[in-house]
Structure 1
Amino acid sequence: MDSESAVDLLVRAAENGDASQVTRLLDEGVPVDAPKPGGRGLTALDIAVRRGHTEVVRVLIEAGADPHQAMHEYGEFTPLTSAASNGRTEMVAILLDAGVHPDTPCRDGNALMFTVTSSAGRTEIVDLLLDHGSDIHLLTRGRTPIEWASAAGKPQMVRHLLSRGAVPTAKAVRVARTWGNNNYPETWPEFEKVIDLLRAAGVDTGTAP
């Protein structure tokens, strides 16, 4: 079997969640981080993370897969940001335990930003990231996590970030108003909840037109 075919088998086994097949192929010497042929730079680890196959991910990391690797040909994601944005709590925990710093960026952001804005985002992932050292006030493209959650109209996330010590800002109110009015008018009530939470936390909404 040529090396390209062997890598393709490894990636397929990872995609199918077949940990025993992954282990066998790795034992036969298939490179753990070789990209899928014609697969935009995706590796077995990338695909297993996206599919939510936690046992396969454990096998790959134990075999030396790089949990910090950039995913896709342009580095849009890392395994951690992919897991966080898809709401995969156990996967996030595995990657953090493997030594990935929670604030490690990819091209488009970091795990906390993706978590608080994603429709699949979970507050328990926020807690995992913060408990592993994520900076609740980290600026990403000029916004803090609570400002990103406000812009996305996520009152549950805003409430949770406030409970974890996030500082409410006039900018958070401003982006909630702007995005709610201009981009998502059909979900404006959610943005109103965000603004009410920020007001209750002490933000002077009069300074954030």
Structure 2
Amino acid sequence: MSGPVMNNINNVAKMILATGLLTLLAACNPASDGGGREGAEPPLAGADIGGSFTLTNQDGGITSEEEFKGQYRIIYFGYSYCPDVCPVDLANIMLGLKQAEKKDPALAEKIQPIFISVDPGRDTPAVLKQYVSAFHPRLIGLTGTPEDIATVAKKYLILYDIRDDESSSEYLVDHSRQAYLFGPDGEPLALLPFDGTPQQVADEIARWVR
């Protein structure tokens, strides 16, 4: 990674520290049966993460966060042309969601998975539609103008940097990696262990979704 990009990632780490997110280390040791979650406070409770957005979905329509009122939300930022981490992360997260849904089918009605692109130049609705369908049948892909994406990324503490060689269709986008779980009112609850196993993701979902 370039120097400026690494500085951006370090800044994200500082923001995470400032909001107390290091308590998320507990998420790496989830209770397999969800035991002990009653009365427990979510790791991200009270953190200033998230907020309103209005973006373009994979069908070319408009989607706002208000449409998910009453639903838990899994939100991951990335881009479809990502050569490595994004597809691996999404596969783990969505396999974890499928495992959680298999154990408790009612979860399918409670949780909405969302993928937000940090590469609006290439991630058109048609591109996103094909991409998200490979991971989960209910995964929504969102894109927008560069200004739209910059605004929503800032609200969700996501930093990204499109490399300077945009003259090539193969340019890369450096971005911070977070898999957020939000509650029914849009409140941040926890980070999902995207770099763990699908079972660990499923366990963390079961821990906080009521």
TM range (shorter): under 0.3
- TM-score normalized by the length of structure 2: 0.27
Higher RCO (CA 8 Å, separation ≥ 6 residues): 2
> Quick check: which one's strand share is greater?
2
- TM-score normalized by the length of structure 1: 0.28
> Quick check: which one's helix share is greater?
1
